[in-house]
Amino acid sequence: MRVNGQVARLGARAEPDSDTVDVDGVGIGVAPSLRYYLLHKPTGVVSTADDPQGRPTVVSLVPSDQRVFPVGRLDLDTEGLLLLTNNGPLTHQLTHPSHGVEKEYMVWVEGSPARGTLRILRQGVELDDGVTAPARVALVAPDLLRLVIHEGRNRQVRRMCEAVGHPVRRLVRIRIGPLSDRKLKPGQWRELTVAEVRELEQAAAAGLCCRRRTGVGRWPPHEPITAAGGNACRS
């Protein structure tokens, strides 16, 4: 058992309103002061808590009764799901490279990637900070990829696509581990349910995320995307 990420000794105490308690990485109860917001970040909004240039921040789009921070980042010109929380230990787990929580993106690119290009994206792309880990990639439309990665390098999807000759025109994140929500429109947010918080904690602890629910190697992990997202995946 751990309190605030530290292994608890016999007789350790925890403050239910402010401390996080977990057994094998899975939390017990949701402390009332902990906040978990799932935001659909629009383009033009920065993923930091403050911006010296005075641009709108993701933090300014969610309630301010408790100070929350974004878990990872989306580029200024990237849209889609971003988690904001004041749960520091969970943030640390989710952003730690070794935990590898999956992130899924819809990627509109220039041109139409060939089968060989998809293979390179799947196997790993040589970038200036090293080869990327294997990704899951499906071509949804001639210029639209659905891509799942579990690393969180700076501008990784853009750099991967650029490296294989297909610069990104539009990038939307549609899933973070077990979290997705097609109903959330740009600028909208909602609180996570208790069940979602549990799932997220389990995903972060296991570092496997969603594979438990979807089965290793099964693709696509969710139902076919429609309307703006195109049609069913085909690899």
Give the nearer residue to ligand URA in terms of CB position, either 34 or 161. 161
Give the binding range for ligand URA (CB under 6 A) out of 17-25, 73-81, 82-90, 128-136: 73-81
Nearest to 177 by CA among 207, 145, 136: 207
Set 75, 129, 143, 181: catalytic member = 75
125 interacts with ligand URA by CB under 6 A = no
Q: Is 75 a catalytic residue?
A: yes
d(CA 43, CA 91): 23
132 interacts with ligand URA by CB under 6 A = no
Nearest to 98 by CA among 25, 216, 207: 207
- Cβ of residue 159: shortest distance to ligand URA, in angstroms? 6
Binding ligand URA by CB under 6 A: which of 21, 39, 145, 157? 157
Binding ligand URA by CB under 6 A: which of 78, 91, 117, 132? 78
171 interacts with ligand URA by CB under 6 A = yes
Overall residue count recorded for the chain in this entry: 235
In Å, what is the CA distance from 85 to each residue of 59, 90, 223, 226? 10, 9, 28, 30
3-state secondary structure of 216: coil
Give the nearer residue to ligand URA in terms of CB position, either 8 or 138. 138
- Cβ of residue 48: shortest distance to ligand URA, in angstroms? 13
Query: How crowded is residue 104: how many other Cβ atoms within 10 Å of its Cβ?
Result: 22
d(CA 188, CA 167): 28
User: With contact defined as beta carbons under 8 Å apart, do 61 and 48 qualify?
Assistant: no
Give the nearer residue to ligand URA in terms of CB position, either 135 or 140. 135
Give the nearer residue to ligand URA in terms of CB position, either 38 or 171. 171
d(CA 51, CA 56): 8
Is residue 220 reached through a cis peptide bond, with omega within 30 degrees of 0 on the bond before it? yes
Give the binding range for ligand URA (CB under 6 A) out of 53-61, 112-120, 150-158, 212-220: 150-158
Q: Give the binding site for ligand URA (CB under 6 A).
A: 74-75, 78, 155-158, 171
